[in-house]
Amino acid sequence: MREIVLDTETTGFDPSSGDRIVEIGAVELFNHMPTGRTYHQYINPERAMPAEAFAVHGLGDDFLSDKPVFKRVGQAFLDFIGPDSKLVIHNASFDMKFLNAELGWAGMPRIPDDRAIDTVMIARRKFPGSPASLDALCRRFGVDNSAREKHGALLDSEILAEVYLELLGGRQPDLVLASGPQVPAAGAVVTEGWRPPPRPQKLPPRLTEAERAAHAGFVAKLGDAAVWKRFGG
């Protein structure tokens, strides 16, 4: 199963008001493991960058002026995500709204909403009542986000990939699949070899002492042939 962990940066909050995408970053997973392939593209929004957006992203008009417009890179982006890979996105409705607006303006096929996996919703189901922002989840799982001084699409997608794997039960950074050929993209950077770094500190044990004692009592009743006794569990 192929998944694309994805993030966008935009000039504002609403494409119907003229806001546009200025950056796309994505990380490829296969069977919940990173392949090492990433996608990164800056985009000329064809409008002035608002001061508040510059403060968040650090992307100004001078920097974006020579970047390709979305219509030039849209097909390469669609080629990278493929026709049916799930898109793992934090607050998916926001990014999907912008991506489909840009694709529509470019006369390209839109992405069905049911392709999106929203990590905000996963986090809220798993930790009801707790903060579900990306920074809060990084703190919960010990994911290093110290480089996240400003929002950047590729950095945020790499961080989100780590968080997503933790939400699924824990990452395995040493198991990286061989990557396929690069996808041609107009000005985009498709890289090989990315993988989530090891967790700086191990997560605390999740079993309580009462659960350990109950397990030990259960195993004792099974006799010496029990699998847990033969293999040290």
Q: How far apart are CA 211 and CA 123, in angstroms?
A: 25
Range of 24-38, 56-70, 213-227 with top mean pLDDT: 24-38
96-128 confidence digits (pLDDT tens) = 999 999 999 999 999 999 999 999 999 999 999
Residue 198 scores a pLDDT above 70: no
| pTM higher than 0.95 | no
Residue 37 scores a pLDDT above 80: yes
Q: Average pLDDT, whole number, for the chain?
A: 84
DSSP 89-111: ETTHHHHHHHHHHHHHHTT-PPP
CATH topology of domain 2-199: Nucleotidyltransferase; domain 5 (3.30.420)
Residue 178: which pLDDT band, with cuts at 50, 70 and 90?
very low
Question: Which residues of the chain does CATH 3.30.420.10 include?
Answer: 2-199
Residue 147 scores a pLDDT above 80: no
Q: What percent of the chain is modeled with pLDDT above 70?
A: 78
pLDDT of residue 231: 59
Closest alpha carbon to 23 in 45, 41, 50: 41
Residue 159 scores a pLDDT above 80: yes
Residue 224: which pLDDT band, with cuts at 50, 70 and 90?
confident
Closest alpha carbon to 59 in 68, 69, 70, 48: 48
Q: How far apart are CA 1 and CA 21, in angstroms?
A: 28
Residues classed as catalytic = 151
Q: What is the mean pLDDT of residues 160-166?
A: 95
